[in-house]
């Protein structure tokens, strides 16, 4: 009888596996295979300016807050 109570409580409060959450296990990337990603990262570190859009936005944001 008590296991039925626990089951009802679990169903009411959403315990258990949810289909909304999906796992990203990565995937195959030709750029990573050829070393393009590593080369871009090296260039970005050498010149001091990130080559990704989010990296440039972070850098500008940090410069703004330092002023």
Overall residue count recorded for the chain in this entry: 67
The two three-digit tokens of residue 58, written as one number: 């972070």
The two three-digit tokens of residue 67, written as one number: 């002023």
The pLDDT tens digits of the residues spanning 9-44 come to 776 666 555 566 666 777 888 888 899 989 999 999
The mean pLDDT value for 37-59 works out to 91
Model pTM score: 0.48
Does the pLDDT at position 67 exceed 90? no
**Per-residue DSSP letter, 34:** H
When comparing pLDDT for 4 and 38, which is higher?
Answer: 38
Where is 8: in which H helix or E strand? helix 2-12
């Amino acid at each position: 009888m008590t296991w039925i109570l626990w089951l009802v409580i679990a169903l009411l409060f959403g315990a258990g596996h949810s289909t909304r959450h999906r796992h990203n296990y990565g995937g195959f990337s030709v750029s990573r295979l050829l070393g393009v990603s590593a080369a871009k990262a090296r260039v970005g570190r050498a010149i001091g300016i990130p080559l990704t859009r989010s990296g440039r936005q972070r850098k500008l944001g940090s410069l703004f807050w330092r002023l």
